[in-house]
Structure 1
C-alpha cells in the first residue's frame, strides 16, 4: 500500500499521539483515509499483521480514548462529507447523512444557514432539501462543550451537553449507522429494524457473515450514562454501537435527526444566597409542566473563580457578579411560540423569587448576541481551571486536574452534593463544582497544587465512585471511560458484568485489536 495512505514517519504526526486528556501515547504508523474504500484497504492491510488500531476524530475527548498506546492510528477527520438528506413524514423529522469526520460546528452552520455542498446529492436528497427550506427551522440538539468534536466521536461516546436535559444525548438522535468491523466487513443498522430480542443478537454482515449470539444482559443505571456498553434484553442493535467508544466497529456513515427548532429561546442566569436554595430551585424547576431545556450549576467557588478572572482580559462583556450571589443556576427556556416562551419565563421568575433569588440580580438573554455571552460565561469555568493547571505544570510537569463526570438518580442530588463538599473540605483540596444539575450530573474539578494533593484527590475520587455506584449512579455520564477511567468502570460494575461486556467485544473484535485499552484497560 502506498505511503500516502499508511504513513510510518510518525514523528511528523506527534500531535496525533494525544487528546484533550493530556495523556501522550505512541504508535508505529498512521493513516488518514478519505473514503470508505480507503478505510477498508487500510484495515485489510493491518489485518495481515494483526496490528492494533486506535481510532481518532478531532481528539477533543477527555479520557484518553483517542490516544494510541501501540500499533496503528486511523484518523477519520478527512472522511467529512455531508452526503444527503431524507425526510420522514411519519416521524416529522429530517435525517442528515454524514461521514464520521464532519464537525459538529459544521453541521450546526450548514443546518442553520441551509448551505450544503449538494454536488453529489441524489434527487431524493434535493427534494428533502426543498422541504427543509420551506419548514420553520430545524436543528441538531446534542451540544457538547467542544463544537469542534466530530460526529463520529460524538456517536462513539454518546455525547450530550446542557440541552440533553430536554432532548436527550446523541443516541436519541441517531437513526441509522453503517459500521465497518476491524476486518473490513460492514454492518448496516437502522433504528427499529435490527433488534436484540430476548437477549439474542442476530446480524448478517455485508460480506455474508452470520452473527447469532446469546448475550448476558446486565442491569444499567437509570441515569444519564456513558459507561460501558448499552445492553437490554430487547432493544435496537444500533444502540449497542452508540457509546461503545470505538471498541466494536468504526462508524463510516450515520443518519442524524434534525428536530423542530424552538421559535423562542431565553437564557436566564439566576443567583441564590446559598447552595440549598439553589437546589430547591432546581428540584422544583424539574417538575414544571414546561420545564427548562437546560439547568446548569455553579457553586460558590466556581463563581469566585469567574470573579477573579473575568476582568483580567477575560469575559469583559459580562456584568459583575454581586458579592451576595453565592450559587448560580443557568436555565435555558425553549418554546415553539412567543406567548409560550413568556409564560415559561414568568413561571421561572416566580420560582426564582420563591427560592430566595433576586430578579434585579438575574441576567436575561434574549438576543443571539446575549445568548453567546452567556454561553461564554458557562464555558469559562473549565477554561480557567485548565489555565491554572497549565501554570502549575511549569513547576510540576506531571500535575493534572481531577475531574469527575458522575451522575446519580433522582432523589440523591443533595446526598451527592453533601458528599462532595464534605470530602473536599476534609481533604483541604482546592476545587470548583459546576455542570448539568438538571440530570444530577455535576463536574467536580479538583485543582491539586502538588503531586501529594493529586494522590489525595485521586483516592477521594475513587471513594466517591464507589458511593455513587451504590446510589445507582454512573461513574461517567457523558465523557466516556476511555483509557483514563477504566479503573472507575470496575468500581461501577462487577467482574461478571465486565465479562459480559468482553463477550460482546469478542463477537465483533475477537482479537481485541480495535481501540485496545478503552473501557477495559
Structure 2
C-alpha cells in the first residue's frame, strides 16, 4: 500500500496509524470477541478527505471498513480483509440547526446522546432512541436503528431527510434534502439507510426534528408470566392510548442488571414486566392515555400498575432497561439477537424460545420492544465448553431464525447483519432478494471494496 499518498492527504500524524500502531479496539466491535486486521487506520475530518482517500483506495483496489463509535454488535466494523479502517468519529460537528424547516444537519460522528441534548436545549426533539446512546448518528443511519420510541415515532429512516455520501470511487453524492415530500425518481437515500456501510460512506445528514414534548412519564406493569404481558400489548395498542414506548422484560434479566448497576427496580412483584412511557404537551392527554392502559392491564391479570412521575425514578428505571445486554455480557459470553416479527406473533415467538431453551440446553433471556415486535434475546453461554458451545449455539440460532421466518418475521429489527448474523440471514432470506441486493452493491461499488463480505455482500 502506498502510505505516502495517504500521508499527503492526512498531514496530521495523529490522524493516521499504520500496522502495529493500530489499537485492538479499532479491529473489533462492542462485543470485542473477534478481531480483524488492517494496514492503516485513518481519522478524516471532512468530506474532501474522505473523498480523496476513497479515490486512492478505489484506484488500487484496497478494502475499506468504515466505522463510527464502534458500538455495533454484529461485526460490521471488523476489518476482515485488511486495507483501510476509516474512522469517522472526529467528524462530529453540528453543521446547522434550521428552525424554519425543523431540521438539523450533522456530520456522521456525532453521538446520539450529544445530538439529543443539543436539540432539546433548543426546544426540539429527535425521537429515535436506541438503547446505546453513545452510538454515532452515522452508525444509527447505517443500521436504521430503532429503539424504545419506535412504537409512536418510528425509526431512524423516518427522520433522515437528506444525505451527503462518498461513493466507493470517491464521488461525492447528495440525495434528498429539506423537503417533506419526494417523488423524484428513485430515492437513493433510502437505499443507503440500513446498508451497513456497504454502499457508501455517510459524511453529512439532514435530520428531521419535532417540537419537544413538554412532559413525559413512565409506568411499570408486573405480570405473573411473560405470556400475559405480551398478550396484553395488542390490547393496549388497540385502545389508542398512544404510548411512546412499550418494552417487555423478564425478571431474571432485570435482577442481573440491578446487580450490575447496583440500582433497584421499582417493583419485584412479577416474573415479567411491561415498561411504558407516555409523552405530550397536555397533562390531561397523558393522564387519559395512561388510565386507558391501566384499565386494560388490570383487566388482563396485571398484578399492579405503578406510575413513575418523578424524574429520578424514571431515569433509574430506564437506566436498568438500557443496561440489560451489558449486564449479561459482564457475567457470560452471549449472542445478542434482535429478530422482529409481526406484533401479533410476538407471543408465539417468545413461547418458542422457551421450548428451544429446553431442547438445546442453553439459557435464553428475553426482552425487547413489545410495541413493534422487536424481540431481543441473549443466548447465554454460562461457562459451556467452547466446542460444545459453538456447536449447540449455532444449531439453536439457526432454529430461532427459522422460527422467526415461519412467523413472517425478519432476522434483524435494528442491529443489522454484519458478519455474525450473515449465515442465518442468507439461510432465511429468499435468494432473489439477496441477488438484487448484490446487484445494487455492484452498481454502487463495482470493485467491491466497501465493507464487502458483510451482511448480504460477497
Aligned-residue offset at 1:343: 0.7
Q: CA deviation at 1:195?
A: 4.1
2: distance between equivalents of 1:308 and 1:6?
40
SS of match in other structure, 1:411: helix
Q: 504-513 or 277-286: which moved more? A: 277-286
Partner in structure 1 of residue 426 of structure 2: 490
Pairing 1:241–2:177 present: no
What does residue range 73-84 of structure 1 map to in structure 2 within 5 Å? 73-84=85-96
Counterpart in the other structure of 1:282: 233
Q: How far apart are the structure 1 equivalents of 2:253 and 2:150?
A: 26
CA contact (8 A) 2:254 2:265 kept: no
The Cα of 1:414 is off from its aligned counterpart by 2.5
The aligned counterpart of 1:163 is 149
Distance 1:307 1:474, change over 3 A: same
Aligned mates of 1:154, 1:316 — CA distance in 2: 28
Partner Cα distance (1:280, 1:11) in 2: 53
2:252 is the alignment partner of 1:304: yes
- 2:58 and 2:398 map into 1 onto residues whose CA distance is 38
Q: Match of 1:316?
A: 263
SS in structure 2 of the partner of residue 278 of structure 1: helix
Question: Which of 432, 450, 456 is the matching residue for 1:514?
Answer: 450
Other structure's SS at 2:417 match: coil
Q: Do the aligned partners of 1:406 and 1:475 also contact (CA within 8 Å) in 2?
A: yes
Which residue of structure 1 aligns with residue 106 of structure 2?
Answer: 98
State which of 447, 460, 480 in structure 1 corresponds to 2:396: 460
| Contact 1:103/1:148 (8 A) holds in 2 | yes
CA contact (8 A) 2:367 2:377 kept: yes
Aligned twin of 1:327: 272
Aligned 8 A contact 1:6 1:29 in 2: yes
| TM-score, scaled to structure 1 | 0.80
CA distance in 1, matches of 2:233, 2:432: 37
Please report how far the alpha carbon of residue 87 of structure 1 lies from its aligned counterpart in structure 2 after TM superposition. 3.9
Report the counterpart of residue 138 of structure 2 in structure 1: 152
CA contact (8 A) 1:55 1:73 kept: yes
The answer to whether the 8 A contact 1:405-1:475 is kept is yes
| Count of residue correspondences | 439
Q: 1:14 aligns with which of 24, 28, 44?
A: 24
Q: Partner of 1:443: helix, strand, or coil?
A: strand
1:138 and 2:124 correspond = yes
2:98 aligned with 1:86, yes or no?
yes
Residue aligning to 2:441: 505
Partner residue of 1:179 out of 162, 165, 173: 165
Alpha-carbon distance, 1:41 to partner: 1.9
Q: What secondary structure, in the 3-state scheme, does the structure 1 residue paired with 2:77 have?
A: coil
Q: For residues 361 and 53 of structure 2, what CA distance do their matches in structure 1 show?
A: 51
Cα distance in 1 for partners of 2:241, 2:403 equals: 33
Structure 2 residue corresponding to 1:273, chosen from 224, 231, 240: 224
Q: Shift of residue 275 of structure 1?
A: 2.5
Contact 1:306–1:380 under 8 Å retained in 2: no
Normalising to structure 2: TM-score of the pair? 0.91
Equivalent-residue separation in structure 2 for 1:151 and 1:94 (angstroms): 18
| 8 Å CA contact 1:263, 1:338 repeated in 2 | no
Give the direction of change, closer, same or farther, for the CA distance of 1:440–1:305 in structure 2 (3 Å limit): closer
Match of 1:383 in 2: 326
- Structure 2, gaps ≥5 residues long: none
Mapped partners of 2:208, 2:430: distance in 1: 35
The alignment status of 1:107 with 2:115, answered yes or no, reads: yes
Distance 1:179 1:440 in 2: 31
Paired residues of 2:257 and 2:323 also in contact (CA < 8 A): no
Retained in 2: the 8 A contact 1:194–1:238? Answer: no
Distance 2:452 2:71 in 1: 19
C-alpha contact (below 8 Å) 1:307/1:321 kept by paired residues: no
| Pair 1:441–1:365, CA change in 2 (3 A) | same
Give unpaired runs (5+ residues) of structure 1.
Answer: 115-136, 202-235, 390-399
Q: Distance in 2 between matches of 1:307 and 1:145?
A: 18
Residue number in structure 1 paired with 2:356: 423
Which residue in the other structure is 1:32 paired with? Answer: 43
Partner residue in 1 for 2:242: 291
Give 1:337's aligned residue: 282
The within-5 A match list for 1:343-492 is 343-359=288-304, 362-389=305-332, 400-448=333-381, 449-450=383-384, 451=386, 452-492=388-428
Query: 425-434 vs 478-487, which deviates more?
Result: 425-434
Q: CA deviation at 1:267?
A: 0.6
Deviation at residue 13 of structure 1 after TM alignment: 2.6
- Quote the Cα distance in structure 2 between the aligned partners of 1:6 and 1:315: 40
The alpha-carbon deviation at position 292 of structure 1 amounts to: 1.1
- Whether the 8 Å contact between 2:124 and 2:210 is mirrored in structure 1 is yes
